Amino acid sequence: MRALLPALTIAWGVLALPAMAQLGVQDQHSPALTTGPNAAWFNLGVNTFSWQQQSVAGQSGVLEGIKFSTGGSAGASFRLRLRLGNCWSTAIPVADTMVRKSVAGTESIFVDLTAWGIWLERDQRFVIEITGNGSDIGCHGNYVAQGSGSLLYPHSLFFLGAPFLDNRWRIGFKTFLYTRPLCGADFNGDGGIDGEDIMAFIAAWQAGMMYADLNDDGAVDGADIGDFFFRWEEGSC
């Protein structure tokens, strides 16, 4: 059995650190291809260009963030908004932030949206909106020509209010969710009970997410830390 005291000591050290990115589980994936016949590139260098990628939650949870594959100049940026519902949407955004490149060329950027506290129910539809602001930036995605195979992501991409061209183009992205684990010890749901579960639990606990309420008393507090580490030590749910 793992020693509980060292684990708790490590955990309290982690509590003093900022939450780490990408501790949630991957939910949606639209491939961001840079080469080959299915590669696609979307220009965000014009401030009147606005794209809305339809998406849908595969499971219930808090949206941790979205990862994009970008290209262009260091320091270039685009605006990211999330709206609930279907494309084309003018609903009030539930998140609104700038995405900025730190290096020139192809760069994978994870946009942490934890602070917005966006809860998505399974099968809930939402819109990923990206808009240019006049800087040298774009993002990768995918395209499958008619008759050449199945779409790489099923949900439509809209441009300036209408489905884009033949409706077979998609922005490339990955979404990550904090989900309520089926097993409290395997908090990140990856099938193993290890240090990554500690990090995932502490991040959720720090953010006050209700799925960290492991003892189901209606509050996210110190009692949940004890509950988690008891389960983690025992390797049980």
* 170-190 pLDDT per residue, tens: 999 999 998 777 778 888 777
Burial class of 145 by CB neighbour count within 10 A (0 to 12, 13 to 18, 19+)? exposed
Q: Tell the residue number behind the tokens 């000591």, with chain if given.
A: 9
Q: Is the pLDDT of residue 208 over 50?
A: yes
Q: For residues 53 and 155, is the Cβ–Cβ distance under 8 A?
A: yes
Q: Is the pLDDT of residue 140 over 70?
A: yes
pLDDT band at 16 (very low <50, low <70, confident <90, very high): very low
* CATH for the stretch 25-177: 2.60.120
pLDDT band at 21 (very low <50, low <70, confident <90, very high): low
pLDDT band at 133 (very low <50, low <70, confident <90, very high): confident
pLDDT band at 4 (very low <50, low <70, confident <90, very high): very low
Q: What angle do CA 101, 107, 109 make, to 5 degrees?
A: 70
pLDDT band at 114 (very low <50, low <70, confident <90, very high): confident
Joined together, the tokens standing for residue 85 give: 């519902």
Q: What is the pLDDT of residue 196?
A: 87
pLDDT band at 62 (very low <50, low <70, confident <90, very high): confident
pLDDT band at 192 (very low <50, low <70, confident <90, very high): confident
- Residues 152-168: pLDDT tens digits? 999 999 999 999 999 99
Q: What is the DSSP string of 96-137?
A: EEEEE-SSSSSEEEEEE-GGG--EE-TT-EEEEEEEE-SSSE
Delimit the CATH 2.60.120 region(s) of the chain. Answer: 25-177
Query: What average pLDDT does the structure give for the chain?
Result: 87
Predicted TM-score of the model (pTM):
0.76
Tell me the mean pLDDT in the region 5-10. 46
Q: What is the pLDDT of residue 85?
A: 97
Joined together, the tokens standing for residue 141 give: 């995605």
Q: Is the pLDDT of residue 13 over 60?
A: no
Q: Is the pLDDT of residue 18 over 70?
A: no
Distance CA 101, CA 75 (A): 5
Q: What percent of the chain has pLDDT over 70?
A: 90
